Structure 1
Amino acid sequence: MKFAWIDLRAVPQPQLESIVDAAIHTRMQGVLCDDASVLAALPPTVTGVTTTVVTEEKELYDLGADTAAWVEVHDEPSLRLACEAAVALPLTVVRFADPTKIPLEIVLAAADRSAGKLITVCADLEEAATVLEVLERGSDGVLLAPSDAGEVFALARLLEAGTSPLELTTLTVDRIEHHGLGDRVCVDTCTHFAEDEGILVGSYSTGFILCCSETHPLPYMPTRPFRVNAGALHSYVLGPENRTNYLSELRSGSTTLAVNAEGRTRPVTVGRAKLESRPLLTITARAADDIVVSLTVQDDWHVRVLGPGGKVHNVTELRRGDELLGYLATDQRHVGFPIGEFCKEN
């Protein structure tokens, strides 16, 4: 579980009370402050943090059990010291002099099997978001000096960010209809999909089919493990936080949701979205409770969707009765947000 400490030492007095209140309200794990009266007033849910600057290895072993080592990393010797502290101590705070994240990667790798916690000093929320994901593991915690209470609440939301697994359902193909030309979207992401991963796409906001990534071998062309040939541009694509976008809205820098055959999810960044005219076909499928799910995709053998167990289906070979993986949503949509209103889609 990622956590954050709030650094109050440079907070102007007029903002101090509101920032402390925000830290308490959001249950920040710790507060760093030189004012003993502020620390004494904290509730039991927030810890008053004590740190000691260390510059030599021998100083690491003189620290109390509740005191975090503070290491300033600005060259190779100080980087080695940070690695030693992260391996040996329960709490290590590291501030890196340079904007590159390579020194952080080295400390994380050195302390990979350590039971201690690494806290990285961050200049702002954007850096905190990056630090929490470095090497796919990230720093255990971040230390931020907020400018106002709003940044504390934003930091809390950042810590809570993540993607929950989805309960996928089995859909049964009802019919396949072939159409003429239309515009479809290939979603090229900045990630390497697994063979049982794709994205959830559908013509209706209440039902999606798991479109397969191009990770499986194809004749005549190499695989594109970053790509999903997703569907017609009007289609909904399910993203993080139960939000949807139209495929036509995706562009470089957008975020969408990778989903595997077991329902595990992760956010992925879109590198580009390719809109091209191609022949189309529509898959109509039904869930066990007779909910209809529809998806319009490119009418070509190399476009694939996933079935139970990660079975790969070429869309041009689908037949009535074939089983696909999908996701049913109970809410309608308004500008991508779920909303409990009446809306009938056909």
Structure 2
Amino acid sequence: MTRSVWLKADDAVGDWEARKRRITAGLEAGVDWVLVDESDVARVRELGAVSIAAFAGDDVHVMDAEEPEAADPDAVVVGKDGEGDGTVDLPTDFSGSADLTTLRRTDGPAGAYVRILGEEYETFAEEAARDADYTIVVGEDWQIIPLENLIARIGEETDIVAGVQSAAEAETAFETLELGADAVLLDTDDPDEIRATVEARDVTEREHLDLQRATVTTIEQTGSADRVCVDTASMLDHDEGMLVGSMSRGLFFVHAETADSPYVASRPFRVNAGAVHAYVRTPKGETKYLSELSSGDEVQVVDTAGNTRKAIVGRVKIEQRPMFRLEAETDGGDRVETLLQNAETIKVATGEGRKAVTELQEGDEILLYYEDVARHFGEEVEESIIEK
């Protein structure tokens, strides 16, 4: 499931300058959507690239032939100043609902905004979900129980967007019933809370890998080869690196160049990843050849505990360098290998801690990601492939 963060920025926030400050903070933090009034759509387009949902006015918005395309929202939302937010009483018979009628008449992506003021509003949200691409639910006295109910009942019919006011509430919404809400609608001016909520979204997207130890069986010098340095557009932490290897089933953890040395300054954005033929793991669990990487591609960054995140490649440097051949054996007896540059700055994670490849010895235990699968064009396949 792909999660998203919506930022509420309608006229309830304040005047345009107040709304603009909130939207700008959201853009800088990396929110996915902003929810505004229709009259602000064109102004938001001028601020930056973000998906825009707009509360519908009295009538469903219909594009005028001369109206600039930028004024058209990506989704229309009904419910403000109507039945959804309690301004107008809910009808006893939903077939007479003005909000639902407007929702059904809306062309293109549409959403319903519902404040959960009681059980009848849960029922109203369920009815709206039949036609809404996005069902925005904002809890009042009760938040978790209504959200659990709605996830269980309509979670497969619509994208549920849960109203929150903090990153902590967002984390809870993303985790509710293990499935969690598809998105959160954040209502705050605090830039720190906005950034933390985006971070909470990113954490839910991250894969966790079970890394294992393998025993070094061979470490030997070879000739020179074309070596690839992957320079990311992110600063990497001391315990982070990438998974690379000559065999897709066994990828070695190689540390980023975050450590200082007497001769070379640290490069905390760089992983000296090996020869051009080797695989590197990407954020979607696939692999790419190191030789294929270029600026703008995504790679997976992993730490020694198996926590992952994605990073953008800023630059790839390919140069001829002397190499080591590194072979290791898993607990199951499978042997995997890779080529790494013969240099003190290239380090791997061992049972004794961080160690340069130039100091590795047979019998050392190194960190590895192992999966007994075959791959074709980077994707898992069910077939027999021999790699040696």
Q: Which bin holds the TM-score, normalised by the shorter protein?
A: 0.5 to 0.7
Match of 1:33 in 2: 78
C-alpha contact 2:241 2:302 (8 A) present in aligned 1: yes
Q: Contact 2:215–2:328 at 8 Å: present in 1 too?
A: yes
Q: Does the Cα contact within 8 Å between 1:305 and 1:314 map onto a contact in 2?
A: yes
Contact 2:5–2:198 under 8 Å retained in 1 = no
Q: Residue 198 of structure 2: which of 131, 134, 138 is its match? A: 138
The CA distance in 2 between the partners of 1:248 and 1:331, in whole Å, is: 22
Aligned partner of 1:216 in structure 2 is 259
Letter in 1 for 2:366: L
Counterpart pick for 2:189 among 102, 107, 114: 107
Q: Which residue of 2 aligns with 1:147?
A: none
2:128 maps to 42
Maintained 8 Å contact 2:206/2:309: yes
Cα distance change of structure 1 residues 137 and 282 upon mapping to structure 2, 3 Å threshold: farther
**Which secondary structure state, in structure 1, belongs to the residue aligned with residue 269 of structure 2?**
strand
Structure-1-length-normalised TM-score: 0.62
Q: TM-score w.r.t. structure 2 length?
A: 0.55
- Of 315, 324, 335, 1:272 maps to 315
- Indicate the residue corresponding to 2:383 in structure 1: 341
Paired with 1:49 and 1:213, the residues of 2 have a C-alpha distance of 42
Please, which of 176, 185, 204 is the counterpart of residue 228 of structure 2? Answer: 185
Paired letter, 1:179: T
Counterpart pick for 1:305 among 326, 334, 348: 348
Per-residue Cα deviation, 1:218-250 (whole angstroms, up to 9, x for no partner) = 121211011011100100001112110100011
Please say which structure displays the higher CA radius of gyration.
Answer: 2
Show the 5 A alignment for 1:221-260: 221-260=264-303
Q: Kindly state the Cα deviation for residue 42 of structure 1 after the two structures are TM-superposed.
A: 2.4
Q: Please tell me the residue identity of whatever aligns with 1:340.
A: E
Question: Could you say which residue in structure 2 is the equivalent of 1:319?
Answer: 361
**Conserved? CA contact 1:173–1:323, under 8 Å:** yes
Contact in 2 for aligned 1:242/1:338 (Cα 8 Å)? no
1: distance between equivalents of 2:365 and 2:312?
Answer: 29
Match of 1:197 in 2: 240
Mapped partners of 2:257, 2:271: distance in 1: 6
Deviations 1:165-205 (A, max 9, x none): 10000011001121111100001011111111100000001
The separation in 1 between residues aligned to 2:200 and 2:265, in whole angstroms, is: 39
Give the 3 Å change call, closer, same or farther, for CA 136–216 of structure 1 in structure 2: farther
- Residue 308 of structure 1 and its aligned partner are, at CA, apart by 4.0
Post-superposition offset of 1:163: 2.0
2:302 and 2:137 map into 1 onto residues whose CA distance is 42
For the 8 Å contact 1:181–1:278, the answer to whether it is kept is yes
The answer to whether the 8 Å contact 1:216/1:223 transfers is yes
The verdict on how the C-alpha distance between 1:139 and 1:262 changes in structure 2, with shifts beyond 3 A counting, is closer
CA contact (8 A) 2:225 2:322 kept: yes
Kindly indicate whether the alpha-carbon contact (under 8 Å) linking 2:5 and 2:197 is maintained by their aligned counterparts in 1: no
C-alpha separation in 1, matches of 2:196 and 2:336? 34
1:236–1:244 contact (8 Å) kept in structure 2: yes
Equivalent residue pairs, number: 245
User: SS of the counterpart of 1:42?
Assistant: helix
Pairwise CA distance, 1:302: 1.9
| Separation of aligned partners in 1, 2:5 and 2:131 | 13
> Per chain length, whose mean CA-contact separation is higher, i.e. which structure has more relative contact order (CA < 8 Å, sep 6+)?
1
Runs of 5+ in structure 1 lacking a partner? 14-29, 52-63, 67-84, 92-103, 113-117, 119-134, 142-158
* 1:214–1:225 Cα contact (<8 Å) kept: yes
2:324 maps to a residue whose letter is L
Residues 294, 316 of structure 2: 8 Å contact kept: yes
Partner amino acid, structure 2, of 1:36: L
For 1:201 and 1:175, how far apart are their aligned partners in 2? 17
Q: 1:160 & 1:198 partners in 2: Cα distance?
A: 18
CA drift at 1:217? 1.4
Task: Give yes or no for contact 1:2–1:140 (8 Å, CA) kept in 2.
Answer: no
Q: What residue ranges of structure 2 are gaps of 5+ in the alignment? A: 7-34, 36-52, 64-74, 80-98, 104-111, 113-123, 143-163, 171-185
CA RMSD of aligned residues (A): 3.6
* CA contact 1:173–1:324 (8 Å) conserved in 2: yes
Fraction of identical pairs, as percent: 33
The 1-side partners of 2:222 and 2:305 are apart by 32
